[in-house]
């Protein structure tokens, strides 16, 4: 006979940032007890959106298991508990060029493992860049998987593209789901409709009015756009709509950036426009800048706005973003787990839990 779990699943979200993972898990039906992060600038955004959850400002290198146990009145060996660890991934990212600045981040998975070992929860979720998998011994992933399996967890780990889960963005992520409630190996539940595109998400027809570079939106919608120098506006003026690139002026002595002059091979996405009919490229922490990737609007002569970046990450349009600057807002959004992807993970866990043997 199958044992029906009547109690609601609950979760603790380590390295929660502005709440992308918590938001998606909450939408799936999991109660979020708390989010933990060292960056206190995330607190307002997290608390404004993740209802009923505590924001715990702590450095995971110093925070102790007993402190968390007492703060949330957690029980050890709780089948209904989900522990989530989506640690900052700068050290393992293929696009990072200043690894010395992110050296400490490579050990965050090991610190998260300490809490998993202590609490032995029913479920464990880890989400990170694929680079963690490519170097799983150095990152601590190999040791973590071995510990989970040796303690009765059925473990899935693999690289998924979030566009297959209802997110209008191409973004490859390592995802680990560990389950010790039964022997089922769990994977995120795929979206059954067609791939979501930029056209499905932003543009006037989706409630995003046309604005110019440098526009400041003082409302909570935050359709705010970074400013551009005139030369960048001139570049966009001759860049084809809907997917055009800097190839339009690669050989133009006046418009081609000096580092890219006459270069038609490298960094083709830099200064490029998004395509309407495709998912967006990966939304990074620098999506507000056209010099950092294919982040120009498909038609308008500007980078995408803060709210457009959030929408392409699959945040709800009413998600409140509290930030002191465009860069701070973009960092929270770009670092986030896309909520729709988190929801797909949460639904897989809930489905399993309801029918656990």
Mean pLDDT, consecutive 10-residue stretches, the chain (357 aa), reads 67 97 98 97 97 96 97 98 83 44 62 97 94 66 95 97 98 96 97 97 98 97 97 96 93 83 69 97 97 97 98 98 97 97 98 86
What is the pLDDT at residue 260? 65
Kindly report the number of other CB atoms within 10 A of residue 65's CB atom: 15
Instruction: Indicate whether 348 belongs to any domain.
Output: yes
Q: How far apart are CA 70 and CA 72, in angstroms?
A: 6
**Is there a contact between 108 and 15 (Cβ–Cβ < 8 Å)?**
yes
Instruction: Indicate whether 101 belongs to any domain.
Output: yes
Strands 81-85 and 31-37: unpaired
Instruction: Indicate whether 300 belongs to any domain.
Output: no
**Is there a contact between 344 and 166 (Cβ–Cβ < 8 Å)?**
yes
H-type alpha helices, the chain: 20-28, 43-49, 65-72, 108-119, 131-134, 136-139, 141-150, 230-237, 306-312, 326-335, 339-354
Instruction: Indicate whether 59 belongs to any domain.
Output: yes
Instruction: Indicate whether 126 belongs to any domain.
Output: yes
What is the pLDDT at residue 263? 61
Number of domains in the chain: 1
What is the pLDDT at residue 91? 41
Instruction: Indicate whether 284 belongs to any domain.
Output: no
215-268 residue pLDDT tens? 999 999 999 999 999 999 999 999 999 999 999 898 888 998 877 665 666 667
What is the pLDDT at residue 357? 57
What is the pLDDT at residue 97? 46
The domain of 133 spans 10-192+339-354
CB neighbours of 96 closer than 8 A, spacing ≥ 6?
90, 102
Q: How far apart are CA 167 and CA 162, in angstroms?
A: 6
- The predicted model scores a pTM of 0.92
Instruction: Indicate whether 119 belongs to any domain.
Output: yes
> Of 16, 42, 86, 89, which one is the catalytic site residue?
89
Tokens 């929408």, residue located: 311
What is the pLDDT at residue 170? 98
What is the pLDDT at residue 102? 44
**Is there a contact between 115 and 43 (Cβ–Cβ < 8 Å)?**
no
What is the pLDDT at residue 93? 40
What is the pLDDT at residue 130? 82
What is the pLDDT at residue 269? 85
Q: Is 89 a catalytic residue?
A: yes
What is the pLDDT at residue 137? 54
Instruction: Indicate whether 116 belongs to any domain.
Output: yes
Q: How far apart are CA 134 and CA 62, in angstroms?
A: 28
Query: Which CATH number goes with the domain that contains 15?
Result: 3.40.50.150
């Amino acid at each position: 006979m199958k044992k029906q779990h009547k109690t609601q699943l609950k979760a603790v979200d380590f390295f929660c940032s502005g709440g992308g993972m918590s938001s998606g898990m909450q939408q799936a039906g999991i109660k979020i007890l708390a989010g933990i992060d060292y960056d206190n600038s995330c607190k307002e955004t997290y608390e404004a959106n993740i209802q009923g959850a505590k924001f715990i400002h702590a450095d995971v290198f110093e925070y102790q298991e007993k402190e968390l146990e007492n703060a949330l009145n957690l029980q050890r060996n709780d089948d209904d508990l989900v522990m989530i660890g989506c640690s900052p991934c700068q050290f393992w990212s293929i696009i990072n060029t200043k690894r010395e600045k992110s050296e400490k981040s490579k050990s965050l998975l090991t610190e998260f493992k300490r809490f998993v070992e202590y609490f032995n929860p029913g479920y464990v979720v880890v989400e990170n860049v694929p680079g963690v998998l490519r170097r799983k011994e150095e990152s601590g992933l190999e040791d973590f998987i071995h510990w989970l399996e040796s303690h009765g967890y059925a473990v899935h780990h693999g690289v998924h593209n979030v566009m297959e889960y209802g997110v209008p963005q191409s973004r490859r992520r390592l995802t680990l789901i560990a389950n010790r409630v039964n022997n089922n190996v769990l994977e995120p539940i795929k979206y059954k409709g067609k791939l979501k595109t930029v056209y499905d998400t932003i543009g006037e027809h989706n409630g995003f009015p046309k604005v110019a570079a440098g526009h400041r939106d003082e409302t909570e919608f935050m359709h705010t756009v970074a400013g551009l120098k005139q030369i960048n506006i001139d570049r966009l003026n001759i860049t084809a709509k809907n997917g055009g690139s800097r190839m339009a002026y690669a050989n133009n002595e006046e418009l081609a950036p000096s580092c890219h002059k006459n270069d038609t091979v490298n960094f083709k996405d830099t200064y490029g426009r998004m395509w309407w009919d495709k998912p967006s490229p990966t939304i990074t922490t620098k999506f507000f800048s056209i010099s950092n990737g294919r982040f120009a609007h498909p038609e308008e002569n500007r980078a995408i706005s803060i709210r457009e970046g959030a929408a392409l990450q699959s945040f709800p349009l009413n998600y409140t973003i509290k930030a002191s600057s465009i860069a701070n807002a973009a960092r929270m959004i770009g670092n986030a787990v896309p909520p729709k992807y988190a929801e797909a993970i949460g639904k897989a866990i809930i489905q399993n839990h309801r029918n656990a043997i």
